[in-house]
């Protein structure tokens, strides 16, 4: 292994090792022998004349030089990969089929026009939208790419963050005028509450405000598996909801059709991911779609947050995973 510091492959091994935290996991991700991982890191350390990792520490720790190298090399490696893809890609020739799983409520209102942008880039790629597969179904290969709420854990999956989902308690001004504004979670006992109970995420059981978390206690509750049905009930002044996805109601909030209730209280936001299997990741059309979707959807969802920032107080958000390709551990 060369000790030249411009060996990008060796740096890629180091970055992968730093992220996985072990030689064996790094070897699995890179499809190399563990000895090759050790030699690559040793070669870089010889080239810079100092250690990148504390070799006697368990768990693995980076030195100051290692942390600096990780911070500086990650964007370099991403830029290098993007350059290679741009030089080797022929969008006109890219063709094939992608089965994409997404929540049906989101697919109905938002996804089809969003994917039209992708069709402009890759006109010969056909995309089938299938409804809301869970992690186990994605792992079995029932779709090529799937969107999940919450970090995947099953072995053999590759995923990227696409940002967070924010869930808001809302009602119509007309409902509030007639029934009053619920200010605290316990006030919900006196209101008709619509609660999402579909397969996309677990049912809301608590609400948070800052460091406080309280159980959700309801007396008049209607559980519905279709988020769009809940939205229609709210717009028809039939009750309140405690966990409406911002993506479904941000236009209603900015237009005044719905208003926030329970000031400061909400369901805890959840990180969302775009997922495929390790074998599908090596298919170029799948990989490019997953990377594109994660990046573009992050920007899309952040625009929703900006749209309501002057109306709803949202918790601060820093996503350090955007742009990173992650893998679940093998069983």
CB under 8 Å to 46, separation ≥6 — which residues? 3
pLDDT of residue 110: 85
Find the mean pLDDT for residues 44-52: 92
Find the mean pLDDT for residues 76-105: 74
DSSP H helices in the chain: 8-20, 23-30, 34-48, 64-88, 104-106, 112-121, 135-139, 173-179, 227-235, 246-255, 278-281, 284-308
Q: What does the alpha-carbon distance between residue 35 and residue 319 come to, in Å, rounded to a whole number?
A: 34
Rounded to two decimals, the pTM is: 0.69
Q: What does the alpha-carbon distance between residue 158 and residue 139 come to, in Å, rounded to a whole number?
A: 10
Which tokens sit at 285?
């059309």
Find the mean pLDDT for residues 88-93: 54
- Would you place residue 82 in the very low, low, confident or very high pLDDT band (cuts 50, 70, 90)? low
Q: What does the alpha-carbon distance between residue 321 and residue 331 come to, in Å, rounded to a whole number?
A: 23
Residue ranges of domains in the chain, CATH in brackets: 8-88 (1.10.10.10), 96-162+270-327 (3.40.190.10), 166-268 (3.40.190.10)
pLDDT of 250-295, one tens digit each? 999 999 999 999 999 999 999 999 999 887 888 888 999 999 999 9
Q: What does the alpha-carbon distance between residue 37 and residue 23 come to, in Å, rounded to a whole number?
A: 6
Percentage of residues in the chain with pLDDT exceeding 70?
A: 92
Which tokens sit at 76?
């370099």
Indicate whether 74 pLDDT > 90: no
pLDDT of residue 154: 92
Indicate whether 1 pLDDT > 70: no
Sign (positive or negative) of CA dihedral 313, 317, 323, 326:
negative
Indicate whether 85 pLDDT > 80: no
Candidate ranges 57-61, 81-85, 203-207, 314-318; pick with highest mean pLDDT: 203-207
Which tokens sit at 204?
């809301």
At residue 290, what are phi and psi to the nearest 5 degrees? Answer: -60, -45
- Would you place residue 330 in the very low, low, confident or very high pLDDT band (cuts 50, 70, 90)? low
pLDDT of residue 28: 66
Report which DSSP code applies to 204: P
| pLDDT: which is higher, 139 or 168 | 168
SS (H, E, C) 274-306: EEEEHHHHCCHHHHHHHHHHHHHHHHHHHHHHH
Which tokens sit at 143?
């779709």
Candidate ranges 5-19, 61-75, 225-239; pick with highest mean pLDDT: 225-239
Find the mean pLDDT for residues 119-136: 88
Find the mean pLDDT for residues 218-237: 96
Q: Please check whether residue 220 is in contact with residue 194, taking contact to mean a CB–CB distance below 8 angstroms.
A: no
Q: Which of 166, 132, 107 is nearest to 275 (CA)?
A: 132
Average pLDDT, the chain: 88
pLDDT of residue 2: 47
| Paired residues of 267 in beta bridges | 167
pLDDT of residue 91: 53
């Amino acid at each position: 292994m060369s000790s030249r510091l411009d060996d990008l492959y060796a740096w890629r091994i180091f970055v992968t090792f730093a992220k996985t935290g072990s030689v064996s996991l790094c070897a699995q991700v890179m499809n190399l022998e563990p000895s090759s991982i050790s030699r690559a890191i040793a070669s870089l350390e010889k080239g810079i004349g100092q250690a990148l990792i504390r070799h006697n520490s368990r768990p693995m720790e980076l030195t100051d030089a290692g942390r600096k190298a990780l911070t500086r090399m990650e964007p370099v490696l991403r830029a290098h990969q993007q350059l290679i893809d741009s030089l080797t890609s022929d969008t006109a020739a890219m063709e094939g089929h992608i089965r994409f799983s997404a929540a049906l409520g989101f697919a109905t209102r938002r996804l089809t026009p969003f994917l039209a942008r992708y069709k402009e880039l890759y006109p010969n790629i056909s995309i089938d939208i299938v409804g809301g597969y869970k992690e186990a179904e994605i792992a079995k290969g029932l779709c090529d790419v799937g969107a999940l709420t919450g970090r995947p854990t099953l072995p053999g999956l590759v995923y990227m963050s696409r940002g967070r989902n924010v869930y808001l308690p809302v009602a119509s001004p007309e409902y509030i005028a007639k029934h009053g504004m619920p200010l605290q979670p316990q006030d919900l006992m006196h209101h008709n509450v619509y609660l999402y109970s579909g397969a996309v995420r677990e049912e809301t059981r608590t609400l948070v405000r800052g460091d406080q978390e309280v159980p959700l206690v309801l007396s008049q509750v209607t559980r519905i598996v279709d988020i769009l049905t809940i939205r229609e009930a709210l717009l028809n002044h039939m009750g309140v909801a405690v966990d409406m996805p911002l993506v479904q109601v941000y236009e209603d909030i900015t237009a005044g059709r719905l208003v926030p209730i329970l000031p400061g209280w909400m369901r805890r936001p959840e990180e969302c991911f775009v997922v495929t299997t390790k074998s599908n990741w090596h298919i170029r059309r799948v990989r490019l779609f997953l990377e594109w979707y994660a990046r573009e959807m992050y920007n899309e969802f952040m625009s929703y947050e900006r749209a309501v920032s002057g109306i709803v107080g949202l918790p601060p958000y820093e996503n350090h995973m955007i742009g990173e390709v992650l893998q679940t551990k093998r069983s």
